[in-house]
Amino acid sequence: LRVTLASVGIEGDEAVDLWTALLTGITDQQISNDPGGDRWSRLVPWAVDLFFDQLRSEP
């Protein structure tokens, strides 16, 4: 994961922690609250875009 994120210019423990929390949180919500549906999983592209946009803009 660290190598993949670093390959697009995102490094550091906090970035990895945030990525993990973001995606495991969405996964947990999907499994717990809408198994078989897409209520939470459809938010993944948006969440990923927000993550990368924010971290790429940091100095």
Q: What value does the mean pLDDT take over residues 5-19?
A: 92
Q: What is the pLDDT of residue 58?
A: 72
Decide which of 2 and 57 is more confident. Answer: 2
* DSSP 8-state secondary structure symbol assigned to residue 9: T
Task: List, for residues 19-59, the tens digit of each pLDDT value.
Answer: 999 999 999 999 999 999 999 999 999 999 999 999 887 76
């490094």: which residue's tokens? Answer: 11
